[in-house]
Amino acid sequence: MRATAATAAGAGLLPALFCTLMFCALIASCATTPQPQASAKENAAMTTQSPTLADSARLDAEQIGKRVLKLIDSIHGAQDLSPENIEKQTGIKVEIHSEDRTEYGFGGALTNAWSYSLTSVSYRQGEKPTRLDFRFLSQAQGAVDIAPICSMDFKDYSQALTSAGFQAQTLPSGDGSDPGFGYRGAEPWSFVRGKVEVAVYIHGNQDPEQGRACISSLAISTQA
């Protein structure tokens, strides 16, 4: 009888022991199961940063000129004069100078003697700008070497503008059909495409037909 009871008791312990061992194995399996890893694409998406804007202080006259020409090509109306579009096209950080975001621009140094700037122009305070002015500015007194601003000259700007679809406006020829005296230097050269006009001013009032002419400023205007 004792043997039978012991056998019965042992038989009753086996299922309990088996369940305990299975539970432990399950816990160990859960503890060692590797967690799913992010894919390479997901990792790239999480670590990719937004492109940074260019350091404008490192640009030379040719680099800044090409960026401004790219900006001009993107302009079809006043809405394209926005700080956001300027930054998008030039890669240069725009500084906002008024709470209503109607006064803004950027600038930088080319050399110790030359700098550049791009500024918005509104005809009435508080109105959205309808013009952008780009200038090369001399920091020196008296005569100054213009080579740093002349890596791209008038012909380069003219070719880029006409390639972008702008039409050059004919200036007085001085052949007697105009009461003036032909090109007098003070007038800008005008390029028009749709509602956009680019007035190109030349340093020293040099006549492009008489030799190399360097750009001093551009006025990019839009019509309503």
Residuewise pLDDT in 10s, the chain (224 residues) = 444 444 444 444 444 434 444 444 433 443 443 434 433 333 333 332 333 454 555 799 999 999 999 999 999 999 999 999 999 999 999 999 999 999 999 999 999 999 999 999 998 988 999 999 999 999 887 788 999 999 999 999 999 999 999 999 865 444 444 444 444 556 789 999 999 999 999 998 888 888 889 999 999 999 97
Cβ neighbours of residue 68 closer than 8 Å, sequence gap 6 or more: 90, 118, 134, 218
11, amino acid identity: A
**Model pLDDT, residue 207:** 84
Domain spans, the chain = 2-47, 56-222
What tokens appear for 16 in the block? Answer: 């309990």
Q: What is the pLDDT of residue 185?
A: 54
Rounded Cα distance, 119 and 129, in Å: 10
In this prediction, residue 169 carries a pLDDT of: 87
Query: Please, which residues have CB within 8 angstroms of residue 134's CB and are 6 or more apart in sequence?
Result: 68, 116, 117, 118, 217, 218, 219, 220
